[in-house]
C-alpha cells in the first residue's frame, strides 16, 4: 500500500479498479488490500483537509462531513436510492417466485415436429397449433380434440422461441430453487433436437448453460457451477463423463447409486462433477458426455436415444443467505422416446431398451399422478429416473416439461398418449381438483403479480435514472468545489452507489453491523471471503457455520464427487444395481442385435487427460483465467489441485476395480459388446502342478520381497515372510499401469523392457517348443502373445499370487507344461519349477535385483521391435538362447484367459526364461490364426463355456 497519503488517494481509483479485475482469483488478498486502503484513507484525507490551503478555500472537512451541503445532500439521496433498489430487487425475486408458483411447479410446453424432407406431407394433417396455447388433434374428418398448454410451439418455431420460455427458470435456480427441464415424447419427435440442437441452432442445454453463466455474472454474488452428466440405460445409472469399457481388460465403471443427503437432497454417489468456470468449459464436457450416450438406429429414428440423458448443473453460492439453499441444481433431461413395440418392430436389445424406457416413463407418470392427486405416498422409488429427479419434481422446485409430438397421422396413438401424459402433468399446478372459482382467483392473482412485477421494474428503472442524474449533479458540483483528489473520491462513491443497486437487504443489514461498515459496500469482504480469510465465523440465522478448513477458495470449488467408488456395494438392490445385474440381461442377448453405440474407443485416461490438456491449451476461454478443473468429494469437502487429485483418484479407481466383482467385456472397436460375468471360484480347485515363483520388487524402492516357493508337486515350498504385503505393490503405479493398459491394443508383440513393465503380461516358460516361441538373435526367447494353450490351469494363492500352468499340444503330440505364478507387481522376480527339475531361480537364490534387471534390459537388443520381427523369416531358426537371461513378452490374448482371476489386473508380468540350447530352438513357425484356433478349441475343451463365457467370447478369440 502506498505510504504517501496524497499518492494513495490519487491512485485509489486505479488501484481498486485493478484489484477488482483480479478479485475472482485473489479474493483474500483483494479484501486485505482494499481494507488497507480504506483504513488509511480517513487519516490521509483529514490530514490533507487540515492543510492551510484547504482552510483558505473554506473546505471544512470534519471526518466525513462534506464541505458543501449540496454534495452532502446528494450523497444522502444516492445512498437512499441504492437502498431502495436493493429492496426492489428482493421484491422482484419474491414476486417472480410467487408468480411461478401460481403458474405451477410444472409448466408444460408442447412442440410439434416439422415434417422431415423424406416424409409424406399428406400425412401431416394430424396435429397443429391453433394458437400459442392450443394443440388441435384431428381424430376424424369431423372430429378433433384440443389440448391447452402453457405454450405451444408450432413446427416452424425456432430454438430461440423455445428457449425464451425456459429462461425464467434459470433465474429461479440462481435464486435458490431446484429446477428440472425435460423433453418428453414419442421416439423421433425431436426431443434431442430440442435439448441438444445442432451446431447451427443450439438447443436448450447449451443455451441454458450459457444463460446460467451470463446471469451468474450479472449477479453480484459469486456462483460456482459444476457439471455432471449421466444416462439411465436399461434402468442403470451410467456416468457419461467416465468412458465405458471398450476392451476386455478395461475396468467397468461402477454402477452409480442414489442416496438422500439431508443437506443437499438427492445425490448420486461417486458421480463425476466438474467445476466449470465458463460456458466453453461446460460445453466441452457436454460434448464429451454426448459421445458416450447410448444411441442406435431404429425403425422410427436413425439416431434414436436408447436411454434417458441427464445433465446436472449444480450452482453453489456461499454469500447469499437469502437463497433457499446454498447449492441448487438444474436437471436438463432428454428422456428416451416412448415407443410401441409393435410399431417399432424392436427385438433383442432394442426391445429391452424400449421396455426399460417405457417402464421408467410410466414410473414418471405415476409420480406425476401422485403429485397431482396430492397423495401422501409418491412412488419415487419405482425407477431410477424418478429417484434422481425426486427433489426437482416436488413442490419446492421448478419443472418444465417439453412434450414433443409428431405431426403425422400414423402417429395418432402415440400423440394422444403424449398429450394426455402432458395434460396430466400440467394439472399438477393448474389443479384439476380446484373449483372454477379457485382457478379464477389464481388467474387474478397471477395478473396482479404480473402488474406488481412491472411496477417494480419501472420503479427500479426510475431509481437508476435518478442515480445517474444525481451522479452527474455531484460531478458538476464536485468540479467546482473539490480538488482533483477529492473528485476521484467522489467518483468512487458514485460507482459504489451504482454497484450497490443490486445488493440485497440482508446484506445491507449484515453490512451495517459489520466492523467495516464505514467502507463502501463493494469493498467490503463478502461473507464467503470473510470466512475464507477467517475474519468471520459468525453464521447467519439458521445457517450452518462454515468451517474455514472445509472451504476451499471459490474458484476451486466443485460440489460433487470424483470418479472413484467409495463403497462397492454395487449389489445393493435398493439403491443400486450390481454390475452383474446391470449386464445380466445383455449377456443373454444375441450379439447380432448388439448395435447400440455406447462409446467411442477412448479410454478414460485418454478422455480425462485429453480434456485437461485441452483446457490448459485453450487460451482466453475462461472468464476467470486458468483454473484447472478440480474435483471434490462430497462430504469431506477436501479440495485438492487437479494435478494431485488426478493421480490419486485414478489410483483409487484402479484399486477399487481390482476389488470389484469381475465383469469382463468383449470389444468390437467402437461398440461395446457383451459383458461376461465370470463365476468366482470355479477355477480355484484346479490342480496345482508346478509353480513359478514370482518375486516382487518395487521398481524404485527396490524393496526385496520374499515369495512363496513350490516344489514339484505344486506344494508351496516356502512361504517366507514378505517384507511388505503383495497387495501394496499392486497399486503402486496405477497411472502408468492404466496408461499401458490403454496403450496395449496399439502395440503388438514387442519386447517390453524390464524397466517399463506396467500393465504387461509377461510369462516365463520353461520349455518353449517350436511354434510357441520366438527368439531374437541374441538368444532370448519370447512367447508369442497370441500363442494358444491347449490347456490352462489357473488358480489363486491366498496371498494374492496367481498361479497358472500352461500346457500345449504340438504336431508331434508333445505336451509340455509349465506353471507360473503371476503376481501383480511393478517388477517381478520369479523362479520356475517344472516337471523335471527343481525350482530354478533366476538369480540363484530365487531373487533378482533391480540391477540385474537393468543389466538384462541393456542386453535386450533394442532393435528387435515389431517391424523387425515381421520382416524376419519366420521359419528361420533362431540362434541359441543364452542361459540365465531374461526376456519378456507381452500377452494380449492371454489376458482374456485370465479373466476369471480376481486379480486379473494384477497379472502384469512374468519373464521368459530360456532353458538351454536343447529347448531353445523354438521358432515362430505356426501362423497366428492356427494358434488362435487351437486356443479356442482348447478353451472349449476345458469347458470354459460352462464358466459363463458365451459365443461372443470365443468369436472374439477367433478374430
What residues are designated binding site for ATP?
185-192
What is the helix (H) or strand (E) element at residue 360, kind and residue range?
helix 348-372
The least CB distance from residue 406 to ligand ATP, in Å, is: 9
Q: What is the 3-state secondary structure (H, E, C) of 783-797?
A: ECCCCCCCEEEEEEC
Please identify, using beta-carbon distances, which residue of 360 and 772 lies nearer to ligand ATP.
Answer: 360
Stretch that binds ligand ATP, among 185-193, 475-483, 715-723, 951-959 (CB under 6 A): 185-193
Q: Which stretch binds ligand ATP (CB under 6 A): 180-188, 573-581, 833-841, 941-949?
A: 180-188
Helix locations, 104-152, DSSP H: none
* Cβ contacts of 644 within 8 Å, gap of 6 or more: none
CB of 363 to ligand ATP, least distance (A): 17
What track of x and - describes contact with ligand ATP for positions 764 through 803 (by CB under 6 A)?
A: ----------------------------------------
Specify the residue, 296 or 428, whose C-beta has the smaller distance to ligand ATP: 296
The backbone torsions φ and ψ at residue 754, rounded to the nearest 5 degrees and listed phi first, read -60, -30
- 187 or 920: whose CB is closer to ligand ATP? 187
CB of 356 to ligand ATP, least distance (A): 13
Please, which residue, 230 or 482, has the CB nearer to ligand ATP? 230
- Enumerate residues 665-704 that contact ligand ATP by CB under 6 A: none
Q: Do residues 707 and 693 make contact, with C-beta atoms less than 8 angstroms apart?
A: yes
Residues 6+ apart with CB under 8 A from 538: none
* Contact assessment for residue 660 and residue 252, using Cβ atoms and an 8 Å cutoff: yes
How many residues line the site for ligand ATP (CB under 6 A)? Answer: 18
x-or-dash pattern for ligand ATP, window 398-427, by CB under 6 A? Answer: ------x-----------------------
C-alpha 541/C-alpha 739 separation (Å) is 50
Stretch in the footprint of ligand ATP (CB under 6 A) among 139-147, 181-189, 213-221, 259-267: 181-189
Residue 780 CB partners (closer than 8 Å, separation 6+): 751, 860, 861, 881, 882, 885, 886, 887, 912, 914
CA–CA distance, 77 with 525 (Å, rounded to integer) = 25
Beta bridge partners of 806: 792, 818
Shortest distance, position 632 Cβ to ligand ATP, whole Å: 33
Binders of ligand ATP among residues 335 to 354 (CB under 6 A) are 336-337
Please report, in angstroms and rounded to a whole number, the separation of the first and last CA atoms in the chain. 73
For residues 66-91, b (16+ Cβ closer than 10 Å) or e, as one string?
bbbeebeebbebbeebbbbbbbbbeb
Q: Which of residues 116-155 bind ligand ATP (CB under 6 A)?
A: 116
Q: Closest separation between CB of residue 129 and ligand ATP, Å?
A: 13
C-alpha atoms less than 13 angstroms from C-alpha of 205 in its C-beta half-sphere: 32
Which of the 8 DSSP states describes residue 319?
S
Minimum separation from the CB atom of position 292 to ligand ATP (A):
15
Q: Phi and psi for 233 in degrees, rounded to 5?
A: -115, 125
Residue 189 or 578 with smaller CB distance to ligand ATP: 189
Q: What are phi and psi of 845, to 5 degrees?
A: -95, 15
Query: Does residue 189 bind ligand ATP (CB under 6 A)?
Result: yes
Closest distance of CB 338 from ligand ATP, Å: 8
Smallest separation (angstroms) from ligand ATP to the CB of 185: 6
For residues 62 and 215, give the distance between their C-alpha atoms in angstroms, rounded to a whole number: 42
Q: Are 447 and 466 in contact (CB under 8 A)?
A: no
Query: Residue from 86, 124, 187, 387 that binds ligand ATP (CB under 6 A)?
Result: 187
Check binding of 185 to ligand ATP (CB under 6 A): yes
Least Cβ distance, residue 194 to ligand ATP (angstroms): 7
> Quick one: DSSP state of residue 717?
E
All residues at 6 or more sequence positions from 901 whose CB lies less than 8 Å from its CB, including other chains: 662, 794, 796, 802, 907
Question: Among 97, 236, 305, 906, which residue interacts with ligand ATP (rule: CB under 6 A)?
Answer: 305
Interface with ligand ATP (CB under 6 A), residue from 191, 426, 429, 765? 191
Nearest to 430 by CA among 108, 839, 203: 108
Q: Which residues pair with 476 in a beta bridge?
A: none
Q: Is 308 in the site for ligand ATP (CB under 6 A)?
A: no
H helix or E strand, kind and range, residue 840: strand 840-841
Cα angle: 477, vertex 480, 486; to 5 degrees: 80
Candidates 48, 92, 93, 113: give the one binding ligand ATP (CB under 6 A): 113
**Binding of ligand ATP at residue 307 (CB under 6 A)?**
no
Q: Which is nearer to ligand ATP, 162 or 252 (CB)?
A: 162
Please tell me the distance from the alpha carbon of residue 600 to that of residue 126, in angstroms, as a whole number. Answer: 39
Backbone angles phi, psi at 34, to 5 degrees: -65, -40
Q: Measured from the CB of residue 341, what is the shortest distance to ligand ATP in angstroms? A: 14
Q: Would you say 419 or 514 has its CB closer to ligand ATP?
A: 419
Instruction: Provide the phi-psi class of 424: left if phi over 0, else alpha when psi is between -120 and 50, else beta.
Output: alpha
Cell triple for 331:
436437471
Report 309-338 residues binding ligand ATP (CB under 6 A).
336-337
Cβ contact 897:788 at 8 Å: no
Where do the H-state alpha helices sit in 482-522?
Answer: 484-499, 505-513
By C-beta, is 185 or 714 nearer to ligand ATP?
Answer: 185
> With CB under 6 A as the contact rule, which of the stretches 27-35, 186-194, 769-777, 837-845 interacts with ligand ATP?
186-194
Q: Report the residue number, 301 or 596, with the smaller CB distance to ligand ATP.
A: 301
Please state the separation of Cα 533 from the chain's center in Å: 31
Q: Which is nearer to ligand ATP, 404 or 530 (CB)?
A: 404
**Residue among 113 and 524 whose Cβ is closer to ligand ATP:** 113
List the strands of the sheet with 828-832, edge to edge: 693-696, 828-832, 840-841
Question: Which of 301, 478, 796, 808 touches ligand ATP (CB under 6 A)?
Answer: 301
**Least spacing, CB of residue 183 vs ligand ATP, in Å:** 7
Contact between 145 and 137 (Cβ < 8 Å): yes
**Of positions 303, 567, 670, 929, contacts ligand ATP by CB under 6 A:** 303
Nearer Cβ to ligand ATP, position 403 or 729?
Answer: 403
Nearest to 516 by CA among 85, 2, 507: 507
Binding residues: 185-192
- Supply the minimum distance, in Å, between the C-beta of residue 193 and ligand ATP: 4
- Using the contact rule CB under 6 A, the part of the chain among 110-118, 271-279, 460-468, 621-629 near ligand ATP is 110-118
Spatial distance between the Cα atoms of 375 and 811, rounded to a whole number of angstroms: 76
The residue among 118 and 959 lying less far from ligand ATP, judged by its C-beta, is 118
The reply to whether 114 sits near ligand ATP by the rule CB under 6 A is yes
CB 954 within 8 A of CB 893: no
Which is nearer to ligand ATP, 114 or 628 (by Cβ)? 114
Interface ranges with ligand ATP (CB under 6 A):
113-114, 116, 185, 187-193, 301, 303-305, 336-337, 404
Amino acid at each position: 500500500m502506498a505510504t504517501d497519503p496524497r499518492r494513495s488517494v490519487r491512485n485509489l481509483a486505479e488501484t481498486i479498479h485493478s484489484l477488482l479485475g483480479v478479485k475472482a482469483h485473489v479474493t483474500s488478498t483483494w479484501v486485505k488490500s482494499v481494507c488497507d486502503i480504506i483504513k488509511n484513507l480517513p487519516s490521509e484525507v483529514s490530514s490533507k483537509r487540515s492543510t492551510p490551503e484547504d482552510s483558505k478555500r473554506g473546505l471544512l472537512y470534519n471526518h466525513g462531513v462534506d464541505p458543501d451541503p449540496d454534495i452532502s445532500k446528494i450523497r444522502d439521496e444516492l445512498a437512499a436510492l441504492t437502498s431502495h433498489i436493493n429492496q426492489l430487487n428482493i421484491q422482484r425475486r419474491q414476486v417472480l417466485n410467487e408468480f411461478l408458483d401460481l403458474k405451477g411447479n410444472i409448466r408444460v410446453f408442447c412442440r410439434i415436429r416439422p415434417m422431415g424432407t423424406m416424409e409424406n406431407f399428406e400425412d401431416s394433417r394430424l396435429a397443429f397449433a391453433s394458437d400459442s396455447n392450443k394443440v388441435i388433434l384431428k381424430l376424424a374428418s369431423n372430429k378433433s380434440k384440443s389440448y391447452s398448454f402453457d405454450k405451444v410451439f408450432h413446427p416452424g418455431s425456432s430454438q430461440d422461441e423455445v428457449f425464451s420460455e425456459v429462461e425464467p427458470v434459470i433465474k429461479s435456480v440462481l435464486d435458490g430453487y431446484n429446477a428440472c427441464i425435460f423433453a418428453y415424447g414419442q421416439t423421433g419427435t425431436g426431443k434431442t433436437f430440442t435439448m441438444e440442437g445442432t451446431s447451427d441452432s443450439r438447443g436448450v442445454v447449451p443455451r441454458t448453460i450459457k444463460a446460467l453463466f451470463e446471469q451468474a455474472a450479472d449477479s453480484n454474488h459469486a456462483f460456482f457451477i459444476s457439471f455432471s452428466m449421466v444416462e439411465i440405460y436399461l434402468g442403470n445409472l451410467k456416468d457419461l463423463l467416465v468412458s465405458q469399457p471398450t476392451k476386455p481388460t478395461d475396468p467397468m465403471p461402477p454402477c452409480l447409486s442414489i442416496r438422500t443427503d439431508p443437506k443437499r437432497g438427492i445425490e448420486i454417489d461417486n458421480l463425476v462433477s466438474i467445476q466449470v468456470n465458463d460456458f466453453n468449459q461446460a460445453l466441452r464436457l457436454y460434448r464429451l458426455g454426448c459421445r458416450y450416450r447410448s444411441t442406435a438406429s431404429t425403425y422410427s429414428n436413425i439416431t434414436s436415444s436408447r436411454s434417458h440423458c441427464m445433465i446436472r448443473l449444480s450452482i453453489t453460492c456461499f454469500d447469499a443467505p437469502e437463497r433457499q439453499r446454498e447449492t441448487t441444481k438444474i436437471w436438463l433431461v432428454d428422456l428416451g422416446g416412448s415407443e410401441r413395440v409393435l410399431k417399432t418392430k424392436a427385438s433383442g436389445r432394442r426391445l429391452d431398451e424400449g421396455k426399460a424406457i417405457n417402464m421408467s416413463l410410466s414410473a414418471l407418470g405415476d409420480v406425476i399422478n401422485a403429485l397431482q392427486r396430492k397423495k401422501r405416498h409418491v412412488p419415487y422409488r419405482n425407477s431410477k429416473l424418478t429417484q434422481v429427479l425426486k427433489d426437482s419434481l416436488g413442490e419446492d422446485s421448478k419443472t418444465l416439461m417439453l412434450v414433443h409430438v409428431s405431426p403425422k397421422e400414423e402417429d395418432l396413438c402415440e400423440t394422444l398418449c403424449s398429450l394426455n401424459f402432458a395434460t396430466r402433468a400440467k394439472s399438477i399446478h393448474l389443479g384439476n381438483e380446484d373449483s372454477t372459482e379457485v382457478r379464477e382467483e389464481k388467474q387474478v392473482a397471477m395478473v396482479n403479480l404480473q402488474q406488481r412485477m412491472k411496477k417494480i421494474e419501472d420503479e427500479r428503472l426510475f431509481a437508476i435514472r435518478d442515480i445517474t442524474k444525481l451522479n452527474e449533479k455531484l460531478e458538476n458540483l464536485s468540479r467546482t468545489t473539490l480538488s482533483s483528489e477529492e473528485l476521484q473520491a467522489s467518483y468512487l462513491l458514485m460507482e459504489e452507489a451504482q454497484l450497490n443497486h443490486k445488493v440485497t437487504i440482508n446484506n445491507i443489514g449484515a453490512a451495517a453491523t459489520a466492523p467495516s461498515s464505514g467502507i463502501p459496500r463493494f469493498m467490503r469482504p463478502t461473507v464467503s471471503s470473510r470466512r475464507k480469510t477467517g475474519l468471520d465465523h459468525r453464521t447467519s440465522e439458521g445457517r450452518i457455520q462454515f468451517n474455514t478448513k472445509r472451504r476451499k477458495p471459490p474458484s476451486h470449488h466443485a460440489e460433487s464427487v470424483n470418479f472413484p467408488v467409495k463403497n462397492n456395494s454395487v449389489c445393493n438392490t435398493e439403491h443400486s444395481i450390481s454390475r452383474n445385474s446391470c449386464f445380466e440381461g445383455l449377456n443373454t442377448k444375441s450379439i447380432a442385435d448388439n448395435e447400440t453405440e455406447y462409446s467411442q474407443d477412448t479410454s478414460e485416461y485418454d478422455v480425462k487427460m485429453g480434456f485437461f490438456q485441452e483446457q490448459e491449451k485453450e487460451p482466453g476461454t475462461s472468464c476467470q483465467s486458468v483454473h484447472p478443473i478440480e474435483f471434490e468429494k462430497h462430504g469431506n469437502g477436501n479440495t485438492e489441485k487437479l494435478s494431485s487429485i488426478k493421480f490419486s483418484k485414478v489410483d483409487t479407481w484402479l484399486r477399487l476395480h481390482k476389488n470389484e466383482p469381475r465383469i469382463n467385456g468383449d470389444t468390437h472397436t467402437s461398440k461395446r459388446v457383451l459383458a461376461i460375468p465370470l463365476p468366482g471360484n470355479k477355477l480355484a480347485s484346479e490342480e496345482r502342478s508346478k509353480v513359478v515363483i514370482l518375486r516382487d520388487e518395487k521398481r524404485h524402492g527396490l524393496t526385496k520381497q520374499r515369495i512363496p516357493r513350490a516344489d514339484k508337486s505344486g506344494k508351496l515350498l516356502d512361504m517366507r515372510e514378505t517384507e511388505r504385503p503383495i497387495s501394496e505393490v499392486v497399486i503402486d503405479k496405477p497411472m502408468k499401469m492404466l496408461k499401458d493398459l490403454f496403450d496395449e491394443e496399439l502395440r503388438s508383440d514387442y519386447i517390453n523392457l524390464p524397466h517399463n513393465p506396467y500393465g504387461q503380461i509377461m510369462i516365463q516358460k520353461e520349455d518353449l517348443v517350436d511354434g510357441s516361441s520366438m527368439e531374437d538373435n541374441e538368444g532370448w526367447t519370447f512367447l508369442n502373445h497370441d500363442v494358444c494353450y491347449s490347456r490352462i490351469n489357473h488358480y489363486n494363492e491366498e496371498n494374492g499370487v496367481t498361479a497358472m500352468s500352461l500346457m500345449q499340444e504340438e504336431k508331434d503330440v508333445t505336451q509340455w507344461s509349465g506353471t507360473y505364478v503371476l503376481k501383480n507387481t511393478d517388477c517381478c522376480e520369479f523362479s520356475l519349477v517344472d516337471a523335471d527339475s527343481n525350482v530354478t531361480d533366476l538369480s540363484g537364490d530365487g531373487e533378482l535385483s533391480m540391477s540385474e534387471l537393468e543389466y538384462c534390459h541393456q542386453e535386450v537388443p533394442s532393435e528387435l521391435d515389431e517391424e523387425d520381427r515381421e520382416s524376419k523369416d519366420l521359419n528361420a531358426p533362431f540362434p541359441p538362447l543364452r542361459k540365465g537371461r531374461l526376456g519378456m513378452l507381452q500377452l494380449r490374448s492371454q489376458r482374456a484367459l485370465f479373466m476369471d482371476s480376481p486379480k486379473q489386473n494384477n497379472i502384469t508380468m512374468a519373464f521368459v526364461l530360456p532353458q538351454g540350447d536343447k529347448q531353445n530352438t523354438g521358432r515362430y513357425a505356426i501362423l497366428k490364426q492356427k494358434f488362435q484356433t487351437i486356443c479356442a478349441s482348447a478353451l472349449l475343451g476345458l469347458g470354459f463355456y460352462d464358466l459363463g463365457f458365451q459365443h461372443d467370447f470365443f468369436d472374439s478369440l477367433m478374430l
